[in-house]
Amino acid sequence: MTTHVLDQLPLWVGGDLEAAEMAAVDRHMEGCPTCRAASEDLRASQAWTQEAMASPFGAADHARLRRAVMDRVVVESRPRPRSPRMRPSLLAAAAALLLASLTWALHQPRPATPVPVTGPAVPAPAPQDPKPAPPLPHPAFARVAPAPARAEPPTTPTGPTRIEFQTADPTIRIIWLAQAKPLPETESSTEKP
């Protein structure tokens, strides 16, 4: 009988011995119940470790992790925020208002005296547009607005900005109401399932 191989068994059970050493351990255990029993204990312990350390996470945990990471990743991959930031829907609304005002003004009979300016020519669109227009690059914002003849500051700090344009035709005046709201930092990263 060769000497016991108990010290080598933790390597043997993981297949971490050289081929010749593996064979020597196998040979020894054929004739040694002590080492054979110890190897069986180690094998059982290894199987129990795999059983006890099985992942406790399920599909819902996976999905929650993915959503949390993707929220951050999407925010981080966005171009750096511009200042001031305007909602794309607001830009579209401003453009629509401008167009509508022009159309309305052009269809008015020309009175002898200028039309008094009393308020917006068309109702302002709802600020919460459920389907925002495709995002416009920021420089486009400057192109939407013609060179203003006269721009007045907002009357109240919280109310809409009122901008009036006097065109070359004294009977046509364009009134532009715009409400600028800062965008929230993230739209969805604070959502929790």
Partner 1 sequence: MFPGTQAVLMEEGLSPLPEAPAADPLEHLVRRIRSGEVEAFEDLMARTEGRILALAWRMLGDRHLAEDAAQETYLRVFRSLNSFRLGERFEAWLIRIAVNVCCDLARKRGPAPAPVESLETLEGDAVPMGAEEAVLFHQRRTLVRQAVAALPPAERAALVLRDLEGLSTEEAARILGVRPVTVRSQAASARAKVQAFCARRMKPTPGGRP
> CB 193 → partner 1: shortest distance, Å?
13
The site partner of 13 among partner 1, Zn ion, none (C-beta below 5 to 8 Å per kind) is partner 1
CB of 70 to Zn ion, least distance (A): 56
- Coil vs helix vs strand at 161: strand
**φ/ψ (deg, to 5) at 52:** -70, -25
Binds 35: which of Zn ion, partner 1, none (CB < 5-8 Å by kind): Zn ion
CB nearer to partner 1: pick between 58 and 116: 58
Cβ-based neighbours of 3, under 8 Å, separated by 6 or more = none
Q: Which of 74, 140, 149, 180 binds partner 1 (CB under 8 A)?
A: 74
CB-nearer residue toward partner 1: 35 or 90:
35
The three-class DSSP label of residue 166 is strand
User: Which of 9, 13, 25, 35 is in the footprint of Zn ion by CB under 5 A?
Assistant: 35
On whether the CB atoms of residues 4 and 32 are closer than 8 A, the answer is yes
**Would you call 163 helix, strand, or coil by DSSP?**
strand
Q: How far is the CB of 130 from partner 1 (least distance, A)?
A: 23
Distance CA 86, CA 137 (A): 11
